[in-house]
Amino acid sequence: MKQTWRWFGPDDRVTLRDAREAGAEGIVTALHEVPAGTVWPLEQIRRRKEEIEAAGLQWSVVESLDISETVKMRAPGWQRDVENLKQSLQNLAKCGIRTVAYNWMPLFSWMRTHLHAPAPNGGFTTRFDATAFAAFDLYLLKRKDAEREWGEDSSRKAYAYLQNLTEPQREELQSTILYGLPGGNGNHTLQTVREALTWYSELGEIGFRENAGDFLRSVSPVAAELGIKLCVHPDDPPRPLLGLPRIVSTAHDLEWLLAQSDLDANGITFCTGALGVRADNDLITMVRRFAPRIAFFHLRSTQREGTLENAIGGEMESFFEAEHLKGDADLIGIVIEIVKEERRRSAHGDSMQIPFRADHGQELLNDRERGAAPAYPAVGRLRGLAELRGSLRMAERLMMEVGQNGTL
């Protein structure tokens, strides 16, 4: 497994030097300054790669090559955006970068309601409070049909929650959700969200799936020819939000997406944190099932804190980002499965290490003073990477002994 570190570019408060001192070998980054739907210029890719290599690291994974909302909705101009994405893939291949993560989440990337919630053992963490999110949906956004979907009981809980917030706390909740966090565009307002929700409601889940399938059938052959692996990130959280369709939340969803193109270029970013929010996602079974098509791992663990029921037969989990080796995800068991997959690939002539990163991290020690991007502090991720590195060494030793003795 290749140890990588997400870096948000030259303006990141956590530097490339920090990443190297934390023990990372590769960098996961993107040209965040280039808007979705436009071509990543070849020279700009080269300059970013040279900057990373000058720090003694490699640009291992692109995260993310964003898919524009125009493509997801198949709005006017979507063909142009798809062709621009194909050109970006060609430019990345010319620079030797061949693992490209993306997501198919509509409007918002990963979603949280609190960015600096107190963690159980000290420090701070990100949190998703289902009741807080319902309060935003019902009484700040005032989405059409929200009350019908949440139902009377949950709506009442959400109203009581909102009434207990001060005006600055209400503003913080709204800005946290509208910002979209790293990966979002940060330009949403209540009005632009309402407009986008109208567009997506007209498309519906069936149309959203059809658009995803057409996209993969168009782009995967180009990626395959270039030797690039595209890897879709799961929905975070893995539930419908604001009535928006979410189609990368379960094993069934992943199976469907992979079936849209059977090329190895059509792969998965397996995020244990996002998928692990749902208790009905058996992560170890899913890793075993999809292992040949997993190109990149996000390793983190979330802790569920209960659910808020809605009136249409669903639920929404509350959760926070736990310590990497705690929470609901069995990361040690998952690391063992990854090492098994690497050994299987090696036996078939593929000696490339599978990249992973210690995804997210709690804010520890002086992390708050540095002011890094939410969930991407220096010390918290260093701790997570160190814990995962220890798990990796243990798993590799275990597999070696199994190979020698035939038994555990």
Q: Residue 405's pLDDT is what?
A: 62
What is the DSSP track for 247-303?
-SSSHHHHHHHHHT--STTEEEEEEHHHHHTSTT--HHHHHHHHGGGEEEEEE--EE
Q: Is the peptide bond before 155 cis (omega within 30 degrees of 0)?
A: no
Q: Residue 266's pLDDT is what?
A: 98
User: Which of 137, 233, 236, 367 does the annotation list as catalytic?
Assistant: 233
| pLDDT, averaged in runs of 10, over the chain (408 residues) | 97 97 98 96 98 98 96 96 98 98 94 96 96 98 95 97 98 90 67 92 94 98 98 97 95 98 98 98 98 98 96 90 97 97 94 95 95 95 98 93 65
User: Which of 298, 324, 328, 367 does the annotation list as catalytic?
Assistant: 298
Furthest C-alpha separation in the chain: 65
Q: Residue 84's pLDDT is what?
A: 98
Question: How far, in Å, CA of 250 to CA of 264, rounded?
Answer: 20
In the residue annotation, 159 being an active-site residue is answered as no
In the residue annotation, 102 being an active-site residue is answered as no
Question: For the domain 2-111+190-405, what is the CATH code?
Answer: 3.20.20.150
Which of 182, 147, 74 is closest to 312 using CA atoms?
147
Structural element, H or E, at residue 215: helix 190-226
Strands (E), 291-340: 294-299, 302-309, 315-321
In the residue annotation, 376 being an active-site residue is answered as yes
In the residue annotation, 252 being an active-site residue is answered as no
User: Which of 18, 137, 360, 367 does the annotation list as catalytic?
Assistant: 360
Q: Residue 147's pLDDT is what?
A: 95
Question: How far, in Å, CA of 203 to CA of 315, rounded?
Answer: 23
Q: In the chain, where are the structural domains located?
A: 2-111+190-405
User: Which of 66, 271, 328, 367 does the annotation list as catalytic?
Assistant: 271
pTM of the model: 0.96
Structural element, H or E, at residue 24: none
Q: Residue 79's pLDDT is what?
A: 97
User: Which of 12, 253, 359, 367 does the annotation list as catalytic?
Assistant: 359
C-alpha distances (whole Å) from 130 to each of 41, 140, 205, 308, 326 are 40, 15, 22, 6, 21
Question: How far, in Å, CA of 359 to CA of 396, rounded?
Answer: 21
In the residue annotation, 233 being an active-site residue is answered as yes
In the residue annotation, 324 being an active-site residue is answered as no
